[in-house]
Structure 1
Amino acid sequence: MRRKHPIWKLAIVCFLTMTVGSGCWDSKDIDNRLMIGVIGLEKAPETGLRVWFRFPLPRAGQETSKKDFFTMSQKGFTVPDAMNKLRYKLPKALETSSTRALLLDEPLAKTGLTPFLEFAIRERSVPLDAVVAVVRGNMERIFSSPNPTGELSGIYTKLFFEPYAGGIPRKNVTKLWEVYAKFYNPFHANLIPVLIEGEKNSFSFGGNAIFISGRMVGEINKDESLLYEIFTRRFHDSEVELMSRSDIRIVHNHTRIATSLEGGKPIIKIDCSLVTVLIDSSRQRKLNESEIIAELESDLNGHAKSLFEKTQREGADVFGFGNRFRSRLEPSQYDHWNEMFKSAEISYSFHIDMRNTGLEFIDSK
């Protein structure tokens, strides 16, 4: 007599059969998706927001249009609202997971970013490692002009900042997750790179925008951005410092930071050790090593002084020094860190090691 199988085993077999045969009912083929390369947010007088989209085209579409991308824009009260309105105009689905960069119009950045970036964090539709930058110029021209080196839209912007491609220490790269994390960290203000519309290329690096509570309140230049990279230990690769009678390449940096709290006043001491190489020198006057080091140290001190004056005036701790004081302050004092940073006593020193290399050796006396 055959033994009957329990009814639950039969049910499992039926369920597995239905699962394998049903497939993914909500999937869309790659041919039916429009991959977004870069998104731009621009202030619009009527609705408050205009969203720009740049889509890379497959090779089949390039034969007729002779372009590797096309651009569209849509007004809306929010970014999701603009995306939903755009879907009524397109024959394919919008694919935001391919976004490589978010470009923010400068007037929009001065009014506040939090309401316009929240969707990306809540919905997780845009990758958190997408590059974020402020744009100074015509957003339409930047989105409609072809990239000078031929990369697909979005990839050009990402490569512009990446250390393994066009990134250099002065170009501060900021990711979407960093921007949003600092919105809710009272001890760390945002610093977002500024891109200036170019005449022949898409854009050029102009410095970094200082943000307080999600709103752009100031800006630091390229030289001050280099000091920011050094002080925050983000320095990578190497960077050239141009001086009056010589050019120096900074090849290595080691920064030590000591903090203390004296009478409620933050004390911050920064000690930087730099390894440098001489790459060019004046032919009119021969310099010795001590003169070159003295001039370089003077330049770095000047940039650092200007950098801290700008950030302390706004109470913008873009360096994250406040995180070192978290355990020494009461929770009720956290929201007052901006005011404490304004009165902080910050000192810095540079120790420069000059490597005497090149075709012509300098005098070390």
Structure 2
Amino acid sequence: MIPRSLLCAALLWFGMAGVLTGCWDTKDINKRLMPVVMGICKNPDQTYRIILQIPSPEKKGSQYLESSSATINKAIDHIRSKAEKSIDLLHIRLFLICEKTAKSNINDIIDYAVQANDISIKGLLGIVRGNFEQLMYHHVQANPELSSYDFFSEQAGWTPNNTIFRLWEAYRDMKSYTQDMAIPILSKGTDTLYKFEGSAILRKDKIVGEISSDETMIYNIFQEKYTGGTIEVSDQASVLIKKATIRNQIAWAASGPQMNSHIRLNVVISENKQHEAEADISQKLKDLVEMRGRKLIGKLQEEKADSLGVGKYFRSRMTEEQLKDWKLVWFPQLKHEITADVKILNSIYLKTPGKMKNAPQRPDEQNR
């Protein structure tokens, strides 16, 4: 019979062994570098230049590491070899690709990032316009703790005039017959880190055009990513959009695909210097949204890039051959009608003199 003391010792030993083997390869957080931004650009000799931005509390800003090589993976290995700490890529939130590389091909960049085991596919994408190095190393002295990611956060600096595009979406769209990309374009800011200059339109894996910030707002409504923003209806009036929804109806006639998109906007008039009637402001906003929508559709059809993804609504009505030809043949022939319906909400929010409604009085105030 096995002595009880020996049995207890054996159980304790096996228990400790199980616990220890579960964390044998862990590293202290003080021994790790966790980049949040990766910049990628092809050099003239076709090598990849990689710049990593790493938050540095000691420097009250960021630390930068960079290297170049024939492949992205090799460039990362070069950075690791000269870093004083282990580099953990899992925390990268933003991938910035220089414009000249995006105009050529981003397929290998997206494939690398998606297939890498230590990179999150939820990372955001941006296109860098202008001097790539200057933007990557740019920081704001007055606000050193500002994060590059804040400009893409709905809880921070992001606005509906900018796109939010993730790594997994880029991988999906490169393989899709009915969806293309719209990636935000950034340039170096003056008093801020970045300046947004609209969105780049990519067909498959390279830039074929771009849309303005105003057109990007319509794009976000189509993508159901609109969270509210301000539109100037005229030089003297502006409205705050509280809610934006869209309803699409499709048909496939003898002449080809047809689509009707109806946009519903709930707005509050935030400025009205000339005391225009609500009906006039509503009509102006309706005309403005419909005009921007038609301009956006026309530009995408000209570039044969279905960044709105309208082709997905027709997938069940197309043969396999039609599906493969959607972007080059059928999307440019699409007859797309856009209409808008504007509802002005309670004008208690108005700040225009003479137009503010009186707030309801409390019972104790009414008796005074």
How far does the alpha carbon of each residue in 1:89-114 deviate from its partner, in whole angstroms, 9 at most, with x for none? 21221110111111110001100111
Give the superposition deviation at 1:194.
Answer: 0.8
In 2, Cα distance between the equivalents of 1:254 and 1:80?
Answer: 43
Q: What whole-Å deviation, never above 9, does each CA across 1:168-217 have from its counterpart, x for those lacking one?
A: 21121111111111111111101111112123322111111100111011
Q: TM-score normalised to the size of structure 1?
A: 0.88
Q: For residues 255-292 of structure 1, what are the alpha-carbon distances to aligned partners after superposition, in whole Å with 9 as ceiling and x for unaligned?
A: 11011111261111001111111111234xx4222222
Q: How does 1:42-191 map to 2 (within 5 A)?
A: 42-59=41-58, 62=59, 67-147=60-140, 150=143, 152=145, 156-191=147-182
Partner Cα separation in structure 2 for residue 23 and residue 115 of structure 1: 35
Letter in 1 for 2:221: I
- Alignment length, in residue pairs? 348
- In 1, the alpha carbon distance for the partners of 2:269 and 2:233 equals 11
**Which residue is 1:304 aligned to?**
293
Q: Deviations over 1:211-259 (max 9, x none)?
A: 0111011000011011111222221133333423311111111211011
What is the alpha-carbon distance in structure 1 between the residues aligned to residue 284 and residue 339 of structure 2?
Answer: 14
Alpha carbons 2:110, 2:170 under 8 Å: kept? no
Which one-letter code corresponds to 1:43 in the other structure? K
1:244 aligns with 2:244: no
Instruction: Name which of 303, 306, 309 aligns with 1:317.
Output: 306
Counterpart in the other structure of 1:258: 249
Q: Distance in 2 between matches of 1:11 and 1:119?
A: 47
Secondary structure of 2:122's counterpart equals coil
Match of residue 215 from structure 2: 224
Larger mean CA deviation between 25-34 and 103-112 belongs to 25-34
Deviation at 1:124?
3.1
Q: Give the TM-score normalised by the residue count of structure 2.
A: 0.87
Render the CA deviation track for 1:64-84: whole Å, top value 9, x for unaligned.
Answer: xxx422212211222211101
Task: Give the whole-Å Cα distance in 2 for the aligned partners of 1:21 and 1:228.
Answer: 52
- Confirm whether residue 198 of structure 1 aligns to residue 189 of structure 2: yes
CA RMSD between the two structures: 2.5
SS at match of 1:137: coil
Distance in 1 between the 2:262 and 2:228 partners? 20
Provide the secondary structure at the position in 1 that maps to 2:187. strand
> Secondary structure at the residue paired with 1:278?
strand
**Residue 333 in 1 paired to residue 322 in 2?**
yes
Tell me the CA shift for residue 298 of structure 1. 2.1
Distance 1:246 1:22 in 2: 66
Listed as ranges, the gaps of 5+ residues in structure 1 are: none
Task: Give the CA deviation at 1:3.
Answer: 7.9
Aligned to 2:362: none
Seq. identity, %: 25
In 2, are the aligned partners of 1:47 and 1:75 still within 8 Å (CA)? no
The 8 Å contact of residues 70 and 144 in structure 1, kept in 2 or not, is answered as no
Residue 294 of structure 1, CA deviation = 2.2
Tell me, yes or no, if the aligned pair for 1:278 and 1:356 is still in contact at 8 Å. no
Q: Which runs of no fewer than 5 residues in structure 2 stay unpaired?
A: 357-368
Structure 2 counterpart of 1:355, from 345, 350, 357: 345
Q: Give the Cα–Cα distance (whole angstroms) in 1 for the partners of residues 109 and 25 of structure 2.
A: 28
Amino acid paired to 1:215: K
